[in-house]
Amino acid sequence: MGIDVGGANTKFATPDGAWDIIHLPLWQDADLEGALEGIRRAAEGVPAGVVMTGELADCFSSRREGVVAIARACASVLDEVYFLSLDGGFYGIERVVASPLSFAAANWMASAMLVAESHPSCLLVDMGSTTTDIIPIIEGRVRAHTTDLERLAAGELVYTGMVRTSVCALVRAVQLDGVSVPLAKETFATMGDVHTVLGCDVGVWSTADGRGTSREECMHRLARCVCADADELGEDAIVDMALQIKKAQLAELMAAMRDVLKRHPASEVVACGIGEPLISEAAQQLGIECHLCSAHYGSVSHVLPAYATGVLLKRWLR
């Protein structure tokens, strides 16, 4: 099986397509070992491949510390475990401890290696709850930069996601009754609220105010962004707000995809993650063909890095 330990969610999947997402914010002193124990029981005796991005969570004083802590938690619970490096190889815990940054944020590499087999020249775009990976694959080779810093600088890692991105980080103002109203520079609402109001299921998530994720509660949080209550604005105005904010996120995604395509021309986009619909919309507006991983792999595309890690490990162990 493959396991992807993120900062907010830990995902696992098996090569036959079974999968799950465990909401586990590491910065809240989450019980990672307990979650891993549950995963181990679900796939008793099955070798596990691990990738991670959770090392960036601010409960760790450094990425090195985070990688080692996550790897040691995995090694202490799982019966047989291997870690995918940014070089595309699987290694044991000793290699992780000796060279932790070689294993930091390697989850996108697993997805890219798998997708390259069926789409040798494409732009792989994976939009999750927090970030978006934009990975050029040219002539069967992954051409993305390696570290998060390098990918961030190159526009291949975009800090925008379907859930955790703060609304006020995306837009400065919205139009209400023809008047431009600045948003409070406070995390009253996140993109999870926006997409829920617009009818998109973004799974289990933590809200900005700690309350529920119903559409009504999401509308309440969006109203707070302009220092109002939901009944004060009305549903139509809040939905219009959400559409404006979604449009800004779509524009940010399109701009990033366009910039990477300038450097790495590709004839198609491959979309995965919970943000598949937004990626598809961006590709359509850019005039480029888009293939959805969900059409090929099914719903396991929501956790493609975990699934890809399991598939790659199964081959590697043969």
pLDDT averaged over every residue in the chain:
96
For residue 98, what pLDDT is reported?
A: 98
Q: What is the pLDDT of residues 241-263, one digit of tens each?
A: 999 999 999 999 999 999 999 99
Residue 36 has pLDDT above 90, yes or no: yes
Residue 47 has pLDDT above 90, yes or no: yes
Q: What is the pLDDT of residues 132-183, one digit of tens each?
A: 999 999 999 999 999 999 999 999 999 999 999 999 999 999 999 999 999 9
Residue 72 and residue 66: Cα distance in Å, rounded? 10
Q: What is the pLDDT of residues 191-239, one digit of tens each?
A: 999 999 999 999 889 999 999 999 999 999 999 999 999 999 999 999 9
Residue 269 and residue 40: Cα distance in Å, rounded? 35
For residue 44, what pLDDT is reported?
A: 82
Residue 273 has pLDDT above 90, yes or no: yes
Contacts of residues 143-149 at CB distance under 8 Å and 24 or more positions apart, as own/partner, are 143/264, 144/108, 144/112, 146/86, 147/86, 147/101, 147/104, 147/105, 148/56, 148/104, 148/105
> Coil, strand, or helix at residue 127?
strand
- Kindly state the tokens that stand for 247: 């449009």
C-alpha distance across the termini of the chain, in Å: 14
What is the arithmetic mean of pLDDT over 73-87?
Answer: 96
For residue 318, what pLDDT is reported?
A: 87
What is the arithmetic mean of pLDDT over 276-304?
Answer: 96
In the chain, the domains with their CATH numbers are 2-107+301-317 (3.30.420.40)
Among 310, 264, 267, 318, smallest CA distance to 288 is for: 267
What is the arithmetic mean of pLDDT over 57-70?
Answer: 96
What is the arithmetic mean of pLDDT over 40-57?
Answer: 92
pLDDT > 90 in the chain, percent? 95
